[in-house]
């Protein structure tokens, strides 16, 4: 039996739908409307939670820019450690952990480099995933339980979330083109879900877990201009690069977390490429193709 945490979240909900569609038995764990109770702020009674469970897919946690240092530490690090320890004790055969590609610096050649060998990331969210990876590698990596770390890039779908949703909302109000700045990887939620399902114990898959962290991207590089153009899909006003640099500078100094998050997302340079520890090099979707696809094309 599979136990899925975070089934109400952006990624977890899609994983749950995919498992149910394939008639794969799955139980959800969370604080409300779930098959089994799990509170990341107070992990108790985990022996009952993990009864008859062979696979854990751990998607739960506090998302990017939605917590402070203490909250990230409790929910993303400590709770993950308690759950992993209980999973090993309960004889769980496979533990799949959803981390983030933000733990990997842009300058690193191999995106599958163990967290213990990477420098501490700058953002609090990435730090929590970095700490969680290091802790879980010690707790699960030395056990007989198969441990899989997935490091997805920024996830997109027809339904947008996080900075992509903010950017689209912003562009509806200010229909101008963004500059060709920044570099980052993305991954389509459908491709990520296919990978997770393929990695489940006993499933037939061309993806073979290597025992190391797996970066998950669509293999392409996205600038701020390319992302914004894909999101709007309508003509926009071009703004001179110097004016944009001044605008981004002004936005960066505002004491507003959303504004600062957008600036970092637009102008930042993240790990980007298709080499190294990637489970696939020919993802089905790109941002432009998925956002413009019909229902029939997406269902195919």
The stretch 263-287 carries a mean pLDDT of: 78
The stretch 56-63 carries a mean pLDDT of: 93
The stretch 200-220 carries a mean pLDDT of: 72
Q: What is the pLDDT of residues 129-164, one digit of tens each?
A: 999 999 999 999 888 898 999 999 999 999 988 888
What DSSP line would sit under 14-72, residue for residue? HHHHHHHHTT--EEEEESSSSSEE--TTS---HHHHTTT--EEEE--SPPTTS--HHHH
Indicate if the pLDDT at residue 57 is higher than 80: yes
| Predicted model pTM | 0.89
Q: CA-to-CA distance for 163 and 170, rounded, in angstroms?
A: 10
The stretch 246-275 carries a mean pLDDT of: 67
| pLDDT at site 300 | 66
The stretch 54-62 carries a mean pLDDT of: 94
Indicate if the pLDDT at residue 206 is higher than 60: no
The stretch 261-283 carries a mean pLDDT of: 74
Q: Which helix (H) or strand (E) holds 150?
A: strand 146-152
Question: Hey, which of 27-41, 49-63, 202-216, 231-245 has the most confident mean pLDDT?
Answer: 49-63
Kindly give the interhelix angle for 162-173 and 257-267, rounded to the nearest 10 degrees: 100
Q: What is the pLDDT of residues 83-113, one digit of tens each?
A: 999 999 999 999 999 999 999 999 998 899 9
Ordered domains of the chain (ranges, CATH)? 2-156+188-217+273-284 (3.40.50.720)
1-26: burial string, b at 16+ Cβ within 10 Å, e else: ebbbbbbbbbbbbbbbebbeeeeeeb
Averaged pLDDT of the chain: 84
Q: Name the least confident of 186-195, 245-254, 276-285.
A: 245-254
Alpha helices in the chain (DSSP H): 10-21, 46-49, 69-72, 79-89, 124-139, 162-173, 189-199, 224-232, 241-252, 257-267, 287-292, 295-299
As given in the structure block, the two tokens for residue 147 are 């441990």
pLDDT-derived band at 18, boundaries 50, 70, 90: very high
Indicate if the pLDDT at residue 41 is higher than 70: yes
| pLDDT at site 204 | 44
Q: Is 147 left (phi over 0), alpha (psi -120 to 50) or beta?
A: beta
The stretch 23-36 carries a mean pLDDT of: 90
């Amino acid at each position: 039996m599979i136990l899925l945490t975070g089934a109400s979240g952006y990624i977890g909900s899609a994983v749950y739908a995919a498992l149910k569609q394939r008639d794969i038995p799955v139980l959800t764990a969370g604080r409300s409307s779930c098959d089994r109770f799990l509170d990341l702020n107070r992990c108790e009674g985990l022996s009952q939670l993990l009864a008859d469970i062979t696979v854990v897919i751990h998607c739960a946690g506090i998302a990017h820019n939605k917590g402070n240092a203490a909250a990230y530490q409790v929910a993303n690090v400590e709770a993950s450690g308690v759950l992993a320890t209980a999973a090993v004790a309960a004889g769980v055969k496979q533990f799949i952990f959803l981390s983030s590609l933000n733990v990997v610096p842009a300058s690193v050649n191999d995106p599958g480099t163990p967290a213990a060998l990477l420098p501490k990331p700058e953002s609090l969210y990435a730090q929590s995933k970095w700490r969680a990876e290091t802790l879980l590698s010690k707790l699960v990596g030395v056990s007989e339980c198969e441990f899989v770390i997935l490091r997805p890039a920024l996830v997109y779908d027809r339904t947008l979330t996080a900075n992509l949703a903010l950017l689209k909302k912003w562009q509806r109000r200010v229909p101008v083109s963004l500059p060709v700045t920044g570099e980052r990887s993305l991954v389509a939620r459908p491709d990520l879900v296919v990978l997770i399902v393929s990695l489940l114990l006993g499933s037939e898959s061309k993806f073979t877990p290597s025992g190391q962290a797996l970066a998950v991207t669509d293999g392409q590089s996205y600038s701020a201009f390319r992302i914004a153009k894909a999101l709007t899909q309508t003509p926009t006003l071009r703004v001179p690069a110097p004016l944009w640099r001044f605008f981004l500078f002004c936005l960066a100094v505002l004491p507003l977390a959303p504004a600062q998050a957008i600036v970092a997302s637009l102008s930042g340079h993240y790990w980007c490429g298709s080499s190294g520890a990637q489970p696939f090099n020919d993802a089905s979707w790109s941002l432009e193709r998925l956002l413009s696809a019909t229902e029939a094309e997406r269902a195919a």
